[in-house]
């Protein structure tokens, strides 16, 4: 939305505008939550379905296979970032958001009905890989379109706060997957039933939720920023148009690399880490991860609102400095503890600085690009960087563990965050130098 469309002459938002924004952000965010639930259900239930697709007596090898496939799906995210970014910039944010969640529905449904290795042999993991690639394509497009939509429907004084809900719902997707896991573990199924067939249930749920989200997104209002840009200049959504902004593209890569590695370490990999390395039981693992993710969710809007007051750059630098210095001590201590409560506190301690990146990274990227290439500019370089440094984090960690040098990963992650810190220190604060109003 443009400022002219959403702000009366006295510079105060009226109730109708506020209600309109909240409704748009709610619907957009719910779709984001559903997509990430579908994606994280794979990780949450990996301990149960891994033997069905990768028959091997060593649980570390099974989880490594799952992690490698998890990383492989990220190869599709750049394609999704380009495809859905193009659609969002050329045909509208609403269409792109709707198509991406429909795509996720297909991927989740395929996983739900795929036979096991014992039934169809090598075709089972091959079909699983296909389904995950479809999901990777969907998520590749979801991030850029969602970040763009939330940033454009937010009022200028609260963009950091509103945009932080992208990661509230992103983490919420993982929380929802864990809630489903807890219900199946504790209420409805035995461990044997979960391993035999119960792991299919969350993917059926995910497909159904995706259909519901697609229907809701179909009724979204298009952003006023896109409508105005379409009137003033033809939205390109093209790679050629995007290449006019090489500095911004490199900034997205640099500011994402360390942050995405940290995010996937303390979300996706943590469940495997506290189970295999710390030695907690499955129940303890689930509750520790669940509690830490709730803490992480609460931090997102707080940090987003703080960025609206002090700027984006101070929070990014805080993440870079704290992450560089504290990552190795936190992971080292975490591996040595046997207490679920101490493990919970340590992971929450990591989130105190990781949230400095997650809460505002979407709005920072959106503020770098003009409306005409915003979705593509946010989504494509981000997807490439996540594919290289984020999706590979669990596989890199498990590879080092298989070599007997798990601590090497701690230094790898710390080094990645340090590299991004260099970018944070030299970039401008996008809150004070935003391209949100540019239509080129």
Spatial distance between the Cα atoms of 151 and 90, rounded to a whole number of angstroms: 18
Percent of the chain with pLDDT over 70: 88
Q: Does residue 434 sit in helix, strand or coil?
A: coil
pLDDT of 323:
94
Q: What is the mean pLDDT of residues 202-207?
A: 89
Judge whether residue 25 has pLDDT over 80: no
User: Do residues 69 and 128 touch, judged by C-beta distance below 8 A?
Assistant: yes
pLDDT of 120:
82
Mean pLDDT for the chain overall = 83
Quick one: how many helices (H) and strands (E) in the chain? 23, 0
Judge whether residue 70 has pLDDT over 70: no
Residue 62: pLDDT band (50, 70, 90) is: low
Q: What is the mean pLDDT of residues 166-176?
A: 87
Q: 305-338: b or e for each residue (b if 16 or more CB lie within 10 Å)?
A: ebbbeebbbbbbebbbbbbbebbbebbeebbebe
pLDDT digits (tens, 9 = 90+) for 362-382: 899 988 888 888 888 888 898
pLDDT of 4:
38
pLDDT of 271:
80
Judge whether residue 66 has pLDDT over 50: yes
* DSSP code for 435: -
Q: Does residue 8 sit in helix, strand or coil?
A: coil
Provide the sign of the torsion angle of the four alpha carbons 4, 19, 154, 376, taken in this order. negative
Judge whether residue 300 has pLDDT over 90: yes
Q: What is the mean pLDDT of residues 287-296?
A: 90
Which residues are within 8 A (CB) of 320 and not within 5 positions of it... i.e. 6 or more apart? Answer: 258, 417, 418, 420, 421, 424, 425
Whole-number CA gyration radius for the chain = 21
Residue 267: pLDDT band (50, 70, 90) is: confident
**CATH 3.40.640.10 corresponds to the domain 3-426:** no
Judge whether residue 10 has pLDDT over 50: no
Judge whether residue 13 has pLDDT over 60: no
């Amino acid at each position: 939305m443009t400022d002219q469309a959403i702000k009366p002459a006295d510079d105060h938002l009226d109730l109708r505008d506020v209600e309109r924004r909240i409704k748009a952000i709610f619907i957009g965010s719910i779709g984001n939550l559903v997509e990430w639930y579908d994606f994280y259900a794979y990780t949450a239930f990996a301990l149960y379905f891994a033997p069905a697709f990768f028959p091997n007596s060593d649980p570390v090898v099974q989880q490594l296979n799952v992690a490698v496939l998890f990383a492989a799906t990220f190869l599709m995210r750049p394609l999704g970032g380009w495809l859905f970014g193009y659609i969002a910039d050329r045909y509208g944010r609403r269409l792109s958001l709707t198509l991406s969640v429909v795509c996720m529905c297909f991927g989740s449904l395929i996983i739900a009905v795929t036979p096991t290795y014992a039934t169809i042999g090598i075709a089972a993991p091959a079909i699983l890989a296909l389904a995950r690639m479809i999901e990777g394509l969907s998520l590749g497009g979801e991030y850029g379109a969602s970040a763009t939509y939330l940033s454009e429907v937010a009022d200028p004084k609260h963009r950091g706060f509103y945009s932080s809900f992208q990661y509230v719902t992103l983490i919420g997707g993982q929380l929802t997957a864990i809630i489903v896991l807890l219900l199946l573990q504790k209420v409805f199924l035995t461990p044997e039933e979960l391993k035999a067939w119960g792991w299919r249930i969350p993917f059926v749920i995910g497909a159904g939720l995706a259909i519901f989200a697609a229907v809701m997104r179909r009724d979204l209002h298009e952003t006023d920023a896109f409508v105005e840009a379409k009137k003033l200049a033809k939205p390109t959504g093209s790679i050629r148009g995007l290449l006019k902004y090489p500095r911004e593209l490199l900034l997205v890569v640099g500011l994402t690399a360390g942050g995405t590695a940290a995010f996937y370490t303390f979300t996706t990999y943590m469940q495997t880490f506290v189970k295999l390395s710390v030695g907690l039981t499955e129940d303890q693992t689930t509750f520790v991860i669940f509690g830490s993710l709730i803490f992480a969710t609460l931090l997102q809007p707080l940090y987003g609102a703080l960025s609206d007051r002090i700027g984006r750059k101070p929070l990014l630098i805080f993440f870079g400095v704290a992450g560089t210095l504290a990552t190795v001590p936190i992971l080292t201590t975490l591996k040595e503890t046997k207490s679920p409560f101490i493990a919970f506190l340590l992971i929450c301690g990591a989130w105190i600085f990781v949230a400095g990146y997650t809460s505002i990274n979407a709005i920072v990227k959106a503020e770098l690009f003009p409306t005409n290439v915003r979705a593509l500019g946010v989504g494509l370089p981000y997807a490439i960087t996540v594919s290289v440094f984020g999706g590979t984090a669990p596989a890199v960690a498990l590879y080092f563990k298989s070599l007997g040098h798990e601590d090497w990963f701690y230094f790898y992650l710390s080094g990645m965050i340090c590299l991004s810190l260099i970018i944070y220190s030299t970039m401008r604060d996008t809150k004070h130098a935003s391209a949100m109003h540019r239509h080129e």
